[in-house]
Structure 1
Amino acid sequence: MDLNIESNDINDYLKSSTIINFDDQSIVFLAEEICKNKVDDVDRIKAVFEYVRDKIDHSADVNGSAVTCNASEVLKFGEGICYAKSHLLAALLRYHGIPTGFCYQRLLLSDDKQYLIIHGLNGVYVKSLDRWIRLDARGNKLGVNSEFSIEVEKLAFQVDENQGEEDILIVYKEPDSNVISALHKYDTVEELFNNLPCNLSDN
């Protein structure tokens, strides 16, 4: 899968922000703990990915009540939807100097809701391979299985172009503004899921 990067400046994928706040002490502690015995970038990326995928609940899977957005919020509440989990993964990896951005797909929300919504995942630069890969830390469940892979992508969802679904093959340097607006606007997970963004801000 050939990915396009939004910025040619690798430093744009390493910055801290109010959303990707890896300078927060809770993020610092966790990032150090997860990777304390990891000696190379592939091992670190895998360990962080699997932590966010498996240890942070997807709010829809657990009937969650907290709408989280920035990385430290996601960690504090232990839950988030796909966008929020991608923010935590980015923060943990950027703390370790691993360039990480944001990728999106347009997918059918469900079989009974026939409209497209934006799904969030990550693009990660693997320095030892000199290559960007996509990882989806959404969280596995029956019918959804995302794995760490540096060869063949094993994402949570495969797009069906016949249904109008789309892989947006760009690694963005920051989360999309429509995504952030949705996470800040709604107070409950139910409200959020009834109003998920259908397009990126530049589409």
Structure 2
Amino acid sequence: MELIQCEPEMSAYLVADDVIDHEHAVVRGIARRLRSATSDAYSYAEAAFTHVRDTIPHSADSGDPRVTWRASDVLEQRTGICFAKAHALAALLRAGGIPAALCYQKLDTAHGLIALKLPGERRWVRQDPRGNKPGVDAQFRLDREQLAWPVRPELGEADYPWLFAEPHPAVLRCLQEAVDRPRLWQLLPTALEMPEACRQA
């Protein structure tokens, strides 16, 4: 599948905003610690991925009722669903100077992950920091994708090819409106409409 940038300028995938707030002290502190333990962009990206995948439990797996959406909160509170964990990983990657995009799949509900572009690489590569459990084995790979959920087209599942610099509005809205995770489960979109700007990209 060819991944499509919604934003023509690579700089859009390095921006700090209210969600991917990589100028926040919490994000900067973790990024600094990861950089000190790694030697290059690849090892930093892999360490950031592993940190988010393994040290921040997916709230559905842990039973945590809290809903997070801002990257610094996800990293500080150590909880979040797939979308929130994608925001956290994007923030750590951007803090390390690595372009990171948000992308999505259509499963039983929409599912969030990221794509990154390492220096010298010509293509974006998707990574899924959702968190592993029995039956889920997402790994950091550049040679091929190893995501949490390979799509099953026969069940109506699909990969969305668009790369977002900011969260999809429907995703962010449900995260911000949910008072707890049970309510969030009621609000999650089953599919995502693509903004016109992405359709024209």
Partner of 2:42: 42
RMSD, matched Cα: 1.1
Output the amino acid matched with 1:192. Answer: L
Q: CA deviation at 1:201?
A: 4.2
Output the amino acid matched with 1:196. Answer: L
Partner of 1:193: 185
Partner of 2:56: 56
2:113 to 121, 128, 146: 121
Correspondence 1:182 to 2:174: yes
Provide the C-alpha distance between the structure 2 equivalents of 1:58 and 1:200, rounded to a whole number of angstroms. 21
1:148 to 140, 146, 155: 140
Matches within 5 A, 1:1-203: 1-108=1-108, 117-202=109-194
- Number of residue equivalences: 195
Q: CA deviation at 1:39?
A: 2.1
Output the amino acid matched with 2:9. Answer: D
Q: Choose between structure 1 and 2: higher strand proportion.
A: 1
* Structure 1 unaligned blocks of 5 or more: 109-116
When structure 1 is superposed on structure 2, of 49-58 and 2-11 the one drifting more is 2-11
* Structure 2 unaligned blocks of 5 or more: 196-201
Q: TM-score, normalised by structure 1?
A: 0.93
Partner of 1:111: none
Provide the C-alpha distance between the structure 2 equivalents of 1:58 and 1:39, rounded to a whole number of angstroms. 29
Q: Choose between structure 1 and 2: higher helix proportion.
A: 2
Q: TM-score, normalised by structure 2?
A: 0.94
Identical positions, percent: 36
